Amino acid sequence: MGYMDQTTYTPDSGEVSEHGLEARRAITIASGIGTLGKYTVLGQYTSGANSGTYAAYSNTGSSGLDTARGILADKSNATSSGVNTFMFTHGIFYREKMIGLDSNAETDLKLCSFVDTNV
């Protein structure tokens, strides 16, 4: 499921570093989870009806959502149906822009680096 996007990505508003090595992967956001903001940390369902799809990561979640898998590349509304979109799997990101990022997610996202904007 999914593939690595080989297109060029241009960072916006300085939210993602401009080192040019960001990697994106095609994914599906699970139906019925509502709207997720850009840069939401994502987990992947590993069981149940939504197995293989993605939703917001939660360190205390279950069914796979307790492991961070990537960062949502654009706002997505999956209120009434699943949404095909992209997530970042590699890059340098500003910690303050992330939604749902905690120290465990930072550990899970081994190919992502997080920096503070005021350094």
Alpha carbons 52 and 99: distance in angstroms, whole number = 21
The CATH number of 4-11+19-105 is 2.40.300
Alpha carbons 21 and 91: distance in angstroms, whole number = 6
Alpha carbons 27 and 10: distance in angstroms, whole number = 20
Residue 20 pLDDT grade (very low, low, confident, very high; cuts 50, 70, 90)? low
Residue 92 pLDDT grade (very low, low, confident, very high; cuts 50, 70, 90)? confident
State pLDDT tens for residues 48-90: 999 999 999 999 988 999 999 999 999 999 999 999 999 999 8
- Give me Rg for the CA atoms of the chain: 13
Residues in the chain: 119
Where along the chain do its domains lie? Answer: 4-11+19-105
Whether residue 15 has pLDDT greater than 60: no
Cβ of 18: how many Cβ atoms within 10 Å? 11
Residue with tokens 């949502």, as numbered in its chain: 72
Considering the entire predicted model, what is its pTM? 0.85
pLDDT at 4: 41
Picking from 77, 66, 17, 60, the residue whose alpha carbon sits closest to that of residue 42 is 66
